[in-house]
Amino acid sequence: MTPGSMHGLQLVVADAEAAQRQLLDRGVEASEITVFDERDGGTFFGFTDPDGNSWAVQQLRARGDRPLIPVEARGRFGADASD
């Protein structure tokens, strides 16, 4: 695919503030966090990766306790997959 051709990619995290801070600390420009709805799933921010693809980051706190892919099922990356 052509770099920068992917738009509207979505990433779900348990903590939007921590994810945004991690991106900013690594020199990635990220938008302000916006809370559209106080319920879980209503908090977002965005960023563009070095190739120009745009991402929406959604906070789902429930994923911190119940990830879609359990740590033991993450294959060769195991618990280090988030680093």
pLDDT tens-digit readout, 23-37 = 999 999 999 999 998
Note the pLDDT of residue 22.
Answer: 97
pLDDT of residue 77: 54
- pTM for this entry: 0.73
According to the 3-state scheme, what is the secondary structure of 1-64? CCCCCCCCEEEEECCHHHHHHHHHHCCCCECCCEECCCCCCCEEEEEECCCCCEEEEEECCHHH
Is residue 20 over pLDDT 70?
yes
Q: Is 77 a member of any domain?
A: no
Is residue 81, in this structure, part of any structural domain at all? no
Structural domains counted in the chain: 1
Range of the domain at 14: 1-64
pLDDT digit string (tens) for 52-64? 999 999 999 877 7
* Average pLDDT of every residue of the chain: 85
